[in-house]
A and B are shown apart, each in its own frame.
Chain A
Amino acid sequence: MSNSPLEHPLFLPRARLNDLFQSLLDHGYRIMAPVVRDDSILYQQINSADALPHGIIDDRHNGSYQIAQAKTPRCFAWSNPQQSLKSFVFSPVEILWKSFYKDNELVFQAIKAEAQPTVIFGVKGCDIAGLQLLDQHFYHKKTPDTHYQQRRDNLILFGINCFRSGSQCFCTNTGDGPNISSPSDCIMSELDEGYIIHHVNSPLTEIIDTLQLKLATTAQQQQATYESSQAALSQQQKLPEITANSVFEQWSHPVWNDIADTCLGCGNCTTVCPSCFCHQESSDVSIDLTESSQTRSWDSCFTTQHSYLHGFYIRPERSQRYRQWLSHKFSGWQSQFGRIGCTGCGRCATYCPVGIDPTQVLQTLFKRRGEPA
């Protein structure tokens, strides 16, 4: 799938967004879209564009997040929602298979994942890139994960170019935003008066065609380009140059111990990360011992148990666990998947209870002698 732009981008007036929603519903899609819930922006199933976060912006800093009402008619004026797309394809908890006895024979039963055709509406570039990373890990391999595959095959992505960079955003550094660069089914830009449709793939082409939209004007396209470039320019965080070996080469750097003095080891960063894929398996047994469910659930390399090996832990120290995460994310990934495992969404810094910002840790790690901290 490639994002070939439409030769003549279309324009969907704001008042007609519900026509698009209705058409998607008529075609049997479930629509998941960002809404305001619990003072956050979260994905939820909706049936009308009225439920979108109208006029909401977010204000993110290291260790803090809040939303506010702004004077804008836009629904996607924030940087990114609290969740990435991870839980749509890789369930936080799910049963893989069951074992039980039937006629005195031990039987194993594979459990299939349930999935229905789902449109995820209004996804930012960092999160579409995050999904692409998960695809590489779970899907595009010799033996794809069947649960992931089932859910992924049912997803339709409506991407939206991002015009607001949070203070921790650095997607321009990772090449994943603010305009969408990863494969998507539809790519839009939001202006005050409506939406430019830059790209659309089958099966959405037919749905968009029925709306009989007019072409976007040159002025509208220029406005979108301008706003996107402003979002890029406003990004303050910078990644240093990192190679597949460079974090491993800093194995004895004092920064690891310094971070361990602050880091709580809570694993929030790995939970909100769009690409963190670690999971554990457990055998959950019914109280009468007749049935056992092999359950997988998200795991975090910040737990000691993650590195357990018959009676000892490979990473008993928090400094080692933080180093494991950062070295994997920025160096290990490059060897495994051909790029860093970060899409610049900045959530790890936002949702860190003590406000640790990995871009600053990396800057310290690769600071040249004589440079200020």
Chain B
Amino acid sequence: MIHTPQTATIMQRTQETKTIFSLQLSFTDPLIQRNYHFHPGQFNMVYLHGIGEIPISIVSDPRHSNGIQHTIRVVGRVTQALSKLVVGDKIGIRGPFGTGWPLEKSIRKDIVFFTGGLGCAPVVAAIKYVLKRRNQFNKVVIIQGVKHADDLIWKQQYQQWQAQSDVQILLASDVASPGWKGHVGPPTELLCQADFNPDNCALMLCGPQPMMIAVCQQLSGQGVREKNIWLSLERNMQCGNGQCGHCQIGPLFACKQGPVFNLEKVKPYLDKIGL
């Protein structure tokens, strides 16, 4: 599973937006499927025969028995080819790799998810995990920012979450579209509205790195300690095993010590251009 892929079948395919789709996968070997365990925030290397292999975060619930779900945006050659697959097609999976979100450590804390752009896939599994075990956590806030209101994927999902009285959802878009009810502007402007206790919280951030740096600076001003902030960082990943060297952020291998990092650990390297 780490060095050589295992065959998985596409059980379901969902078109989320024009360029984003989700694949529900199941290993063809039931034993492998049974023994496959992951933490929200981890990723798989997804391989399409004859095309190539890319890292994709896992969005399904780790306790869900319906296999693995990946949500993928068409950005390059491999994602383009993956988007053309249909139910029943076979692909290869290596993984899971990397670290996950600190969910078990965050029980009885206020949880704030902050996501920007299309980078919400790595936190979706964590959101699902928390909402499924809602009574284990205190307040839950989800802040999502997009460039354009039409970019908001999982609209139905957000509507469902919004309908829950015990979850605060704050949406922001740089550009509104007709009917957009959320904030117009950068999502950082919503942080002051987020209802959470800075002394007993876990913040989970995902999205463009400059946005996360801005969020971290603002949170520091709001009295949130660095050890309570977690970020999912993206880098070129090819081996998944901390060997190929592409994913390094300073001395950190994002595929092994990340992609979810505690701010304290990654802060010295976060704002260095070119790392």
Interface of A toward B, CB cutoff 8 Å: 96-97, 99-101, 105-110, 137-138, 141, 143, 145-146, 244-245, 248, 251, 277-283, 285, 289, 292, 294, 296, 299, 301, 306-311, 314-315, 317, 320, 323-324, 327-328, 331-336
Contact = CB atoms under 8 A, between A and B. Distances in A.
8 contacts: A244-B251, A248-B250, A248-B272, A279-B239, A308-B236, A311-B76, A314-B274, A336-B251
For B91, B234, B273, the residue with the greatest tally of chain A CB atoms inside 10 Å of its CB is: B273
Interface residues of B, number: 39
Contact of B7 (A105, A327, A333): A105
Contacts of B90: 105-106
B75 A280 contact: no
B49 interface: yes
Q: Give chain A's interface secondary structure class.
A: mixed
Interface in B91-114: 91-92
B245 interface: yes
B274 A279 contact: no
Interface string B73-94: 0011000000000000011100
B110 to A, nearest CB: 32
B49 A292 contact: yes
Nearest to B274: A320
Contact of B76 (A310, A323, A333): A310
A365 to B, nearest CB: 15
Nearest to A324: B274
Given A99-B49, A310-B76, A311-B75, A110 B3 contact: yes
B19 to A, nearest CB: 12
Contacts of B248: 328, 332
Interface stretch (B50-58, B167-175, B179-187, B190-198): B50-58
Contact of B5 (A99, A280, A309): A99
B50 A289 contact: yes
Given A108-B4, A309-B235, A332-B248, 4 more contacts: A143-B3, A281-B53, A310-B76, A336-B253
A88 B44 CA distance: 30
A244 B236 CA distance: 23
Interface in B21-55: 28, 47, 49-53
Nearest to B51: A283
Nearest to B245: A278
B6 interface: yes
B246 A278 contact: yes
A14 B99 CA distance: 56
Nearest 10 pairs between A and B by C-beta?
A: A278-B245, A335-B251, A320-B274, A106-B90, A332-B251, A110-B4, A97-B4, A310-B75, A285-B50, A283-B52
A281 B51 contact: no
Nearest to B54: A310
Contact of B52 (A146, A244, A278, A282): A282
B154 interface: no
Contacts of B49: 99-101, 106, 292
A264 B76 CA distance: 29
A308 to B, nearest CB: 5
A371 B242 CA distance: 40
B2 interface: yes
A315 B272 CA distance: 11
Contacts of A323: 274
